[in-house]
Amino acid sequence: MKSKDLSFLVLGAGAIGGITAAVMRKNGYDVELLCRDEKLAAHISENGLQVKGFCGSFSIKIPSYSSVSQIIGKKDIILHATKASDMGEAARNSLKVLNENGFFVSMQNGICEDELGSVVGKERVIGCVTGWGATMLFGGVLEMTSTGDFILGYPGRTPDEFLELVSEALSVIVPAKTT
């Protein structure tokens, strides 16, 4: 299996989630977005996200939805980039579109892996430190304000080949390391 064989759903079309989805999509990954705002989801699907900053300047359309019921098929990875306060409900709602052997990657500010694990199962969680900055200038327009890296790891177990595939995919945005 190659990293581009994986299917991704990004929860949250804010600065981190939106830029992650846009850069991955630009680099040929199968990525879709789920956000709460119906108008923003329609705008991203029809007109695309505008991205600028450290990741370059570009616009890209991404299939986007405001309800998990609109998503067709199962995803290998759900990149969870909502606010930490919305994490539990968003995870519960999106669990039904995760492949049986899929994982949630916790990209929230803070340490949310334990709470996420209590919702989806600890064995389905990949922790992620997001060490780069971004801001939403306004709906659909995002700026990567600083560069950095991702650090990925499973809670309580060593990295494996699958984690390396996820790391490779995220490395199209910034360098990603596993631990």
Those residues whose C-beta lies under 8 Å from the C-beta of residue 45, and which sit 6 or more positions away, are: 61, 62, 63, 64
Has residue 105 got a pLDDT over 80? yes
pTM given for the model = 0.96
Q: What is the DSSP letter of 127?
A: E
**Which of 156, 150, 76, 99 lies closest to 123, judged by CA?**
156
Cα 81 from chain centroid (whole Å): 6
CB atoms within 10 A of CB 35: 24
Task: Evaluate whether 10 touches 81 at the Cβ level (below 8 Å).
Answer: yes
List, in sequence order, every residue forming a beta bridge with 113; answer none if it has no partner. none
Name the pLDDT band for 108 (thresholds 50, 70, 90): confident
Mean pLDDT throughout 16-42? Answer: 97
Q: What is the pLDDT of residues 154-176, one digit of tens each?
A: 998 999 999 999 999 999 999 99
The pLDDT score that the predictor gives to residue 85 is 87
In b/e form, how buried is each residue of 57-83, taking b as 16+ CB within 10 angstroms?
eeebebbbbbebeebeeebbbbbbbbe
Tokens 């801001």 locate to 135
Higher pLDDT pick, 28 / 108:
28
pLDDT tens-place string over residues 121-135: 999 999 999 999 999
CB 135 within 8 A of CB 15: yes
Closest CA to 133 of 32, 27, 53, 13: 53
